[in-house]
A = this chain, B = another copy of it.
Amino acid sequence: MRIVKLTEETKKNILENLLKRSPNQYGAYEAAVNEIIENVRQKGDAALFEYTEKFDKARLTPETIQVKEEEIEKAYQLVDEKLLEVIRKALVNIRSYHEKQRQNSWFNSEENGTLLGQKITPMARVGVYVPGGKAVYPSSVLMNVMPAKVAGVSEIIMTTPCNADGRVNPAVLVAAHEAGADRVYKAGGAQAIAALAYGTESIPKVDKIVGPGNIYVALAKKAVYGNVSIDSIAGPSEILVLADRSANPRYVAADLLSQAEHDEMASAILITTSQELAEKVSVEVDRFLEHLSRRPIIEKSLDNFGYILVADAKADAIEAANAIASEHLEIVMENPFEVMTKIKNAGAIFIGEYSCEPLGDYFAGPNHILPTNGTAKFFSPLSVDDFVKKSSVIYYSREALEAIHNDIEQFAACEQLTAHANSIAVRFEEKES
């Protein structure tokens, strides 16, 4: 991996380079995506089946688009028992963490007869998109479905592309069933997003669509945003390791490689205050590379978006980490919890040398669907909050309103909203006239 000195200049260049991976750069696909959405919106199933035949080479009908009980049973027979066991263990942790995120409705009352509050209600129906294609991630099914389940969503609809024979990956089906998805439909790409957003004869309209996908899926989610809610728009995965000379170079190298293997757009960055560590990590990366099955992908992603940055001071290293706002941030430094207090922007923070990123991907419990590509400055990990919404609650007694009614009428008058003022005034007219 290239070793670069961290300066304002290099930081700026790296930030610009990383942003090239943003889905916002793919405007060229927008017209195609919009056409797919418009067709599915207008023609429903007919368009959905047509696109499924075109893109997934599968001929579906209203009878076959929904995964049947038998297909799920068969999936259980096909899946490695060990995987099933691990899925169940992971689900216990994922459920437990997300249950801690649950918020209560609350109210505050005062003795003059006012009550103000916030009522929390789960969404009624959400759609989870699970990509097919090259890689299959049952862990991602768990991470998308479980927070919705914990939030109390009544109906969780999953869509995922099938292969040409109309079959869905069995590990995905088992994960969906274990996590508690209510129905699974065979649909992928922008057409699946459109079906979830507007509903077709077969697939019901949902309130929110979550889940990762390729650029077509990302653009389709953005296009339907507002008509439904969406989770954040996912970009390629990334890791940033903050390490000082106390770090084990072999561990750091292995962790950088674990993100670089995701795809060629993934980014792996080490920021360290130790030139010695920088050099050792670079050597270890090369050593590991010889044995890793996804070497071609890793080499490309390291070439494009991999850096080892050497900082003059710990404060500079931390400042750069906040500027990059990585999806995954590992802190392998002395006093790592103190360093954590200075982290403003990161999707997930892994503290200490035994908290490696794959622990969070699969098992620890926190969600692995995290803001990417700098969006940790304003987006959060997928959570129970994503599947509820709030209503303000307002009660005022006659006495309470009377005490302030002139103030409100005054404010409304300043905004020239006389019917607003009238709505208050009418309640006190008899008394005052």
Listed in ascending order, the chain A residues whose CB lies under 8 Å from chain B are: 22-24, 80, 82-83, 86-87, 89-90, 97, 100-101, 103, 106, 108, 114-116, 118-119, 121, 123-124, 135-139, 171, 207-208, 222, 225-229, 232-233, 250-251, 254-255, 257-258, 260-262, 288, 292-294, 298, 329, 337, 340, 343-367, 370-371, 375-381, 383, 385, 389-398, 400-401, 404, 407-408, 410-412, 414-424, 426-427
* Residue of A119, A222, A362, A410 with most partner-chain B CB within 10 A: A362
Contact A348 B392 (CB under 8 A): yes
Which residues does chain B contribute within 8 Å of A83, judged by CB atoms? 410-411, 414
Report the Cα distance A82→B408, complex, angstroms: 11
Known contacts: A100-B108, A135-B415, A419-B260. The answer to whether A394 contacts B116 by CB under 8 A is no
The answer to whether B340 touches A417, judged by C-beta atoms less than 8 angstroms apart, is no
A393 cross-chain contacts in B, Cβ below 8 A: 340, 348-349, 351, 366
Q: Which residues of B contact A389 (CB under 8 A)?
A: 345, 371, 376-380
Chain B positions within 8 Å of A101 at CB level = 118
Q: Contacts A359-B401, A422-B258: A227 and B24 contacting too (C-beta < 8 A)?
A: yes
Distance between Cα atoms of A302 and B421 in the complex (Å): 19
For the complex, give the distance between the alpha carbons of A429 and B404 in Å: 71
- Whether A376 touches B391, Cβ cut-off 8 Å, given contacts A139-B415, A363-B411, is yes
Docked complex Cα distance between A323 and B196 (Å): 18
Complex: chain B residue closest to A123, CB-CB: B378
Copies in the complex: 2
Ordered by A's residue number, 26 sampled pairs between the chains whose C-beta atoms are within 8 Å are A86-B410, A89-B407, A100-B118, A119-B340, A121-B344, A121-B345, A123-B377, A124-B344, A135-B416, A207-B377, A254-B422, A261-B417, A288-B422, A292-B419, A345-B389, A349-B394, A352-B395, A354-B427, A358-B412, A361-B420, A364-B394, A366-B393, A367-B392, A371-B389, A381-B391, A385-B385
Q: Which are the 9 A-B pairs with shortest beta-carbon distances?
A: A366-B392, A229-B378, A348-B392, A261-B419, A380-B390, A258-B423, A207-B378, A358-B420, A254-B423
> What chain B residues lie within 8 Å of A370 (beta carbons)?
392
CB distance from A154 to the nearest CB of B (A): 10
Interface centre among A118, A390, A421 (most CB of B within 10 A): A390
Measured between beta carbons, the chain B residues less than 8 angstroms from A87 are 411
B residues in contact with A355, CB < 8 Å: 394-396, 401
List residues of chain B with CB within 8 A of the CB of A103. 103
- Tell me the minimal C-beta distance from A210 to chain B in angstroms: 11
A138 contacts which chain B residues (CB < 8 A)?
A: 414-415
- Cβ contact of A124, chosen from B90, B124, B257, B377, cutoff 8 A: B377
A368 to B, closest residue via Cβ:
B392
- Cβ-defined contact, B378 with A347, below 8 A: no
Contact check: which of B137, B257, B329, B390 meets A423 at CB < 8 Å? B257
| CB <8 Å contact, A359 and B394 | yes
Chain B residues positioned under 8 Å from A288 (CB to CB): 419, 422
Alpha-carbon distance between A288 and B246 when the two chains are bound, in angstroms? 76
Least distance between A419 CB and chain B CB atoms (Å): 4
**Docked-complex contact A366 and B352, CB < 8 angstroms:** no
**Which residues on the B side are within 8 Å of A90 (C-beta)?**
407, 411
C-alpha gap A396/B357 in the complex (Å): 11
Contact in complex: A410, B377 (CB < 8 Å) = no
Select one of B114, B233, B261, B364 contacting A116, CB under 8 A: B364
